[in-house]
Amino acid sequence: MKHACPRCQELTISGLAKRWSDRACPAKCANCGCLSHVLASTSGGIGAGTFLALVASMVAAAGLMSYLVAVSGACLAFAFNMWAWKRAMLVPIPKENMDAARTVGWFLAGVYALLALFGN
């Protein structure tokens, strides 16, 4: 399953690359070199929706004492996850933004390391 590059519309982005893409590590188009990623709000929303569907089906399964409800609920949550990722928009990102996101990431890692060292 390949996804269309937001710039050249060629199907060059793999499903996995799309799933793991974020600001600091965007998916790269093999055709035009365009960097793109799925917005954090989108990927976070999909994760939350899948989690809620799983929890709801587990609660329903426990209430009805039926493992069939649990299984079909898990299938529904999985189907929702696949469908939502398929629909998720890839947003082009300039290389400078990626570098900036990486710098912020390293900066935060440094701050956390300092806190861990001197926080006690």
Site residues (vs Zn ion, CB under 5 A): 5, 7-8, 29, 31-32, 34
Q: How far is the CB of 26 from Zn ion (least distance, A)?
A: 12
Given the complex with Zn ion, which of 14 and 31 has the nearer CB atom?
Answer: 31
* DSSP type of residue 46: H
DSSP state of 88: P
Instruction: Give whichever of 6 and 73 is closer to Zn ion, judged by the CB atom.
Output: 6
- Whether 113 contacts 94, CB under 8 Å: no
Outline where DSSP puts E strands in the chain. Answer: 2-4, 11-14, 27-28, 35-38, 90-92
Q: Report in angstroms how near the CB of residue 46 gets to Zn ion at its nearest.
A: 23
Nearer to Zn ion, 36 or 57 (CB): 36
Q: How far is the CB of 97 from Zn ion (least distance, A)?
A: 17
Widest distance between CA atoms in the chain: 54
Q: Give the 3-state secondary structure of residue 104.
A: helix
Alpha carbon distance 14, 17 (integer Å): 5
CB nearer to Zn ion: pick between 13 and 46 = 13
Give min distance, CB of 41 to Zn ion, in A.
23
